[in-house]
Amino acid sequence: MKAVIPAAGFGTRFLPATKAQPKEMLPVFDKPTIQYVIEEAVASGIDDILIVTGKNKRSIEDHFDKSFELEYTLETTGKDSYLKTVRDITDLADICYVRQKDQKGLGDAIYCAKKHVGDEPFAVMLGDSITKGPSPCTKQLIDIYNKYEASAISLEAVPENKVERYGIIDGIEVESNVYKINNLVEKPSVAEAPSNLAIMGRYVLTPDIFDKIKDTKPGVGGEIQLTDALNDLDVIYGNTFEGKTYDIGNRLDWLKTSIEFAMDDNESRDDLIQFMKEVTNGV
Ligand code: G1P
- Digit-coded pLDDT (tens) for 267-279: 999 999 999 999 9
Distances (CA, A) of 177 to 156, 238, 266: 10, 8, 33
162 alpha carbon – ligand 1 mean position (Å): 12
272 alpha carbon – ligand 1 mean position (Å): 32
166 alpha carbon – ligand 1 mean position (Å): 5
Closest CA to 41 of 106, 116, 124: 124
Number of helices and strands (H, E) in the chain? 11, 13
The minimum-distance atom of ligand 1 relative to the CA of 226 is 8
Alpha-carbon distance of 5 to 60, in angstroms, equals 12
Which residue's alpha carbon is at the smallest distance from atom 13 of ligand 1? 166
Alpha-carbon distance of 216 to 198, in angstroms, equals 21
Rounded average pLDDT over 142-167: 96
39 alpha carbon – ligand 1 mean position (Å): 21
184-204 confidence digits (pLDDT tens): 999 999 999 999 999 999 999
Q: What is the largest CA-CA distance in the chain?
A: 63
Per DSSP, helices labelled H in the chain are 33-43, 58-64, 68-76, 80-91, 106-111, 114-117, 137-148, 209-214, 226-231, 251-263, 266-280
Alpha-carbon distance of 154 to 240, in angstroms, equals 6
47 alpha carbon – ligand 1 mean position (Å): 24
Q: Is 25 helix (H, G, I), strand (E, B) or coil?
A: helix
- Pocket test of ligand 1: the residue of 126, 164, 187, 248 to mutate, having most ligand atoms within 8 Å of its CB, is 126
Alpha-carbon distance of 112 to 213, in angstroms, equals 11
Which residue's alpha carbon is at the smallest distance from atom 15 of ligand 1? 106
The minimum-distance atom of ligand 1 relative to the CA of 227 is 9
Is residue 103 within 8 Å of 10, Cβ to Cβ? yes
Note the pLDDT of residue 242: 87
201 alpha carbon – ligand 1 mean position (Å): 6
Q: Is 172 helix (H, G, I), strand (E, B) or coil?
A: strand
192 alpha carbon – ligand 1 mean position (Å): 17
Note the pLDDT of residue 9: 85
87 alpha carbon – ligand 1 mean position (Å): 32
Q: Residues lining ligand 1, judged by CB closer than 6 Å?
A: 106, 126, 129, 166-167, 186, 198-201, 225-227, 247
Distances (CA, A) of 186 to 133, 145, 223, 253: 26, 23, 11, 21
240 — alpha (psi -120 to 50), left (phi > 0) or beta?
A: beta
Note the pLDDT of residue 250: 84
CA angle 14, 19, 22 (to 5 degrees): 75
Note the pLDDT of residue 56: 80
- Pocket test of ligand 1: the residue of 10, 23, 106, 108 to mutate, having most ligand atoms within 8 Å of its CB, is 106
The minimum-distance atom of ligand 1 relative to the CA of 225 is 8
74-133 confidence digits (pLDDT tens): 999 999 999 999 999 988 899 999 999 998 999 999 999 999 999 999 999 999 999 999
Global pTM reads 0.94
